[in-house]
Amino acid sequence: MNGTSRRAFKDELFRQFARIGKALASGRRLELLELLAQKERTVEELARLTDMSVANASQHLQVLRGARLVDSRKDGLYVKYTLADQRVFGLWQALRDLGEGRIAEIERVVHSFAMDRKSLRAVTLDELRRGLRKGSVIVLDVRPAEEYGAGHIPGARSIPLAELRRRLRGLSKTREIVAYCRGPYCVLADEAVALLRSRGWRAFRLEEGFPDWKARWFPVETAQYPGK
Amino acid sequence: MNGTSRRAFKDELFRQFARIGKALASGRRLELLELLAQKERTVEELARLTDMSVANASQHLQVLRGARLVDSRKDGLYVKYTLADQRVFGLWQALRDLGEGRIAEIERVVHSFAMDRKSLRAVTLDELRRGLRKGSVIVLDVRPAEEYGAGHIPGARSIPLAELRRRLRGLSKTREIVAYCRGPYCVLADEAVALLRSRGWRAFRLEEGFPDWKARWFPVETAQYPGK
DNA sequence: CAACTATTCAATTGTATGCTTGAATACTTG
DNA sequence: CAAGTATTCAAGCATACAATTGAATAGTTG
């Protein structure tokens, strides 16, 4: 009621919320969240994918766990980490979209790496959905096979980027191709589209990634990935 | 294309996004964002409302501006700060809702201060909207008059908490009363409801605050606040 | 144009964070 | 139960951040 205790209450309350903010205050941790949005993963796997030492990855993961953004469970010899909640991805999405809209450097960085981001319009989730219903597109999931296995857009074919070149033969040129990967800043789809277009396919990238599809509560298919 | 430059790209990209995360990594700054979600404000005003020194508030505001979460403009003798974008409030909302859902301490802190949060069910935005259409409720905006003036729920009456006691006479007891303020953790509405109920009114708090109403793109009314 | 004022800057201090290294822990598997 | 392995812990260092203080700036107003 009195001013002092009200101040203490607010301080403590916002301090608690800031725990989440602190967890989001490192690029490394954001990258971990993006990778965890695809599927659950071990510490070693995350360390490898982010070029961090295992100890460092472990430490970052514990910060994320401290903020309740991820959960971990022991599975045999490994500790597997997962996003704690669909809302965690929603938070990352909100941060991502705000950054894309307001931080000019972000567009600049993306441009400097994937030059034809602007020249080739990306396909939106809704457009892809319509195309899938009409059967007018081939959808390629170019992420590693394990990520496809953990969840993918129904009807998508798994062709990890690394295998694309040697599996071109099996791809028809009669329909348009839409390639997707982890998210709007994942470059796997960009590289797949570049390769396909250079060989004569009509190929486009999906604007966003699989977790964004899932976040819209569109249907999701899971599968043991055959041949691995 | 090669591994090194791809790593540099990702590092730089996520580092840029982390600028926003860093801005959210302080309770003080989150409190500033919540206050700015009500209306634009001067540095001095924000310092006073958060019990910070002016220099400290200024410093925090510059961190927020560096992350492009707020804009500032010079107005006469004052510098006025505003939220840069409706998406900034959306980001704070996402963080807030995640924290409420997952950080147990938050519920504990709220409970310790506003004891009857749990016993009295709060009215949702949608319920209030229906009630307003039917004309079955009186809506009170118990924030300071300037915040009401900058934007409020259409049909709401401005009775700042400080004035409530002496303006009880004008309030009918025939209809239910819904009081709202800045957001779900703002205690003005709680105190208003407690006072009203102790005097025999059927009063409830709105679950969320005015910025949440606005974020739903429900209609908003602005007015010069008469008598101030 | 001189006095005034809101805001920002600069310098300082204590504390927190990120990363590395090497050891410890806890679990599995032969 | 011994050897092996994924993960975490602990210590140490460099850097970054929060808050305070006092001065500087830029603008307004008499």
Q: A226 in contact with B at a CB cutoff of 8 Å?
A: no
| CB within 8 Å: A12 and B109 | yes
Looking at the C1' of nucleotide C5, which residue has the nearest alpha carbon? Answer: B77
What is the pTM for the complete model shown? 0.94
B20 touches chain A (CB under 8 A): yes
Q: List the 143-162 stretch of A: residues with Cβ below 8 A of B.
A: none
Question: Which nucleotide minimizes the distance between its C1' and the CA of B25?
Answer: D17
Are the beta carbons of A109 and B16 separated by less than 8 Å? Answer: yes
The confidence score (pLDDT) of residue B1 equals 55
Q: Running DSSP on this structure, what letter comes out for residue A169?
A: G
Mean pLDDT on B158-173: 95
Write the CB contacts of B207 (distance below 8 Å, at least 6 apart in sequence). B122, B123, B124, B125, B184
Q: Is B202 at the interface with chain A, CB within 8 A?
A: no
Residue-wise pLDDT for A41-64, tens only, equals 999 999 999 999 999 999 999 999
Q: How many CB pairs under 8 A join A and B?
A: 160
pLDDT over 70, % of chain B? 96
Chain A residues closer than 8 Å to B5 by CB: 113
DSSP character at residue B121: P
Distance from the Cα of A164 to chain B's closest Cα (Å) equals: 15
Assign A69 a pLDDT band (cuts: 50, 70, 90): very high
pLDDT in tens, B98-151: 999 999 999 999 988 876 787 788 999 999 999 999 999 999 999 999 999 999
| pLDDT band at A120; cut points 50, 70, 90 | confident
For every residue of A102-142, DSSP letters joined together read: H-HHHHHHHHHHSGGGTTSPPBPHHHHHHHHHHT-EEEEE-
Q: Which two tokens stand for residue B182?
A: 């800045």
Integer distance in angstroms from the first to the last C-alpha of chain A?
63
d(CA A51, CA A73): 23
User: Cβ of B87 and A101 within 8 Å?
Assistant: yes
- The residues, any chain, with a CB within 8 Å of residue A124's CB and separated by 6 or more, are A206, A207, A208
For residues B25-37, one letter each, b for 16 or more C-beta atoms within 10 angstroms of the residue's C-beta and e for the rest, the string is bbbbbbbbbbbbb
Is residue A177 helix, strand or coil? strand
Is residue B225 over pLDDT 80?
no
- Condensed to tens digits (0 to 9), the pLDDT of residues A166-219 reads 999 999 999 999 999 999 999 999 999 999 999 999 999 999 999 999 999 999
B47 contacts in chain A (CB < 8 Å) = none
3-class DSSP assignment, residue A184: coil
Instruction: Considering any atom of strand D, list protein residues whose CB lies within 7 Å.
Output: A 42-45, 54-55, 58-59, 61-62, 72, 77-80; B 22, 25-26, 28-29, 52-53, 55-56, 59-60, 63, 74, 76-77
What would the two tokens of residue B9 be? 């790209």
Integer Cα distance of B33 and B37 in angstroms: 6
pLDDT in tens, B51-100: 999 999 999 999 999 999 999 999 989 999 999 999 999 999 999 999 99
Q: What is the enclosing helix (H) or strand (E) of B61? A: helix B54-66
Q: What percent of chain B has pLDDT over 90?
A: 89
Dihedral sign for Cα atoms in the order A217, A118, A106, A151 = positive
Half-sphere exposure of A118 (CA within 13 A, CB side): 8
Give residue A223's pLDDT.
81
